[in-house]
Amino acid sequence: MSQASEAVAAKATPAKATPIVQMRGAGYYSQNTIGAKAVIDAAGELVLAALSQMSLRQPVPFVMADFGAADGGTSLDLMRRAVDAIRQAAPERSITLTYTDLPHNDFSSLFRLLHGLVPGRAEAPLGQLENVFTFASGTSFYRQIFPDGGLDFGFSATAMHWLSRLPGQIADHVHAAGADPQEKELFRAQAQADWERILLARAAELRPGGKLVLANFCEDEEGRYLGNTGGVNMHDTFAKHWRRVHRDRHLTDAEYRAGTFMQFYKTVADFTEPFTSADSLVQRAGLKLDEVFTRVTGCPYAARFQRDGGDPAAFAASYLPTLRSWSESTFFGALSSDRSLEERRDIIDDFYAGYEAEVAAYPAGHGMDYVHCFTVISKTG
């Protein structure tokens, strides 16, 4: 850590124990994040191009991983395309596909989806294809998950903006995007340390010639980031309604400050730094950056409302679940365990109901556009 970062850390509000980060389970996440699926589908050409550059005819199984997969629903079609591409090049080659996420992830929903136990899908279940073997790992992607040289291809989307630890709490906002400069620098320092840690773990896992395709939330060249592309700022709206429940539901100051997302949106310069800086551990570990670019994917709920019109309340009711699917654990976890479970659930319902009411009353500008940095990375040697 630099001296500047140490100075920022000294001034930070101490964080409580690292919060539990969890996408909402029982299939809720993939059912209500069709924008995230659109991002992954758009990465399909990058994945197929990366696979086409690899030596796929080998006598050993081809090992793939989806890092930070949640319930697996958003990447299922992409994984099927990848399996098909490998099959075309090497029809007899065995394929293993490992889904990774934190230990408290809803792996039960993942396996139900993989084995065709979720209604609405006509294709042969991916988990039951001949010579395709599916696994799950509850190990964080901040650690090495596969043995040295045990991975051929890795994919991750919309996951690595989550930090390994909460470096501090933000005094009067809920996200580093709305923090003051000193607070934001503290989160950036943590994000950069985490990014290097992620890359070094993947460098150890990848075989020479292996590839990574990653799609991470970012702050792009125009200063845009998730939910902030020119309309109503989503994170500012979160902060406004968190202040409201702080006041109206008598949250303690500690609970209010604990409503801090353990996230940071890196810039392209942040993403590329390990590949360009002198004496980079990442470069020495054999990783090379092949491609990097940013892309905005429009919010499908807002786009549909703008295209078709209709009832603003219906738009709000369809839009809020996509926010709730990934944000709820942060706000729920901020509430003291001294409160009853029923009271905590009621406060959280009140929080999202207020946000939904605002969207229904003033729908113009609301939407969660996705802003991603796409990177393709190779292991040399």
Q: What is the pLDDT of residue 121?
A: 63
Q: Which residues contact 327 (CB under 8 A, 6 or more apart)?
A: 238, 261
Q: What is the pLDDT of residue 20?
A: 52
* Cα–Cα nearest to 43, from 55, 31, 51, 53: 51
* Cα–Cα nearest to 28, from 79, 77, 71, 69: 71
Q: List, for the chain, all residue ranges whose pLDDT scores fall below the cut of 50.
A: 1-17, 21-30, 32
Distance from C-alpha of 378 to C-alpha of 320, rounded to nearest angstrom:
38
Q: What is the pLDDT of residue 118?
A: 77
Q: What is the pLDDT of residue 120?
A: 64
Q: What is the pLDDT of residue 24?
A: 44
Distance from C-alpha of 292 to C-alpha of 46, rounded to nearest angstrom:
11
Q: What is the pLDDT of residue 2?
A: 33
Distance from C-alpha of 377 to C-alpha of 143, rounded to nearest angstrom:
18
Distance from C-alpha of 82 to C-alpha of 103, rounded to nearest angstrom:
26
pLDDT tens by residue, 103-123: 989 899 899 989 988 776 657
Beta strands in 260-365 (DSSP E): 287-297
What the block records as the tokens of 182 is 């000193």
Domain locations in the chain? 3-379
**Largest Cα span, the chain:** 64
* Cα–Cα nearest to 218, from 298, 322, 296: 296
Check: CATH 1.10.760.10 for 3-379?
A: no
Q: What is the pLDDT of residue 371?
A: 97
Q: What is the pLDDT of residue 38?
A: 87
The DSSP code for 372 is E
Q: What is the pLDDT of residue 336?
A: 97
Owner of token pair 């988990």: 127
Distance from C-alpha of 162 to C-alpha of 34, rounded to nearest angstrom:
20
Q: What is the pLDDT of residue 114?
A: 92
Strands 132-137 and 151-157: unpaired
Question: Is-contact 288 380, C-beta < 8 A?
Answer: yes
Q: What is the pLDDT of residue 309?
A: 84
Question: Is-contact 150 67, C-beta < 8 A?
Answer: no
Torsion of CA 66, 326, 224, 276, to 10 degrees: -40
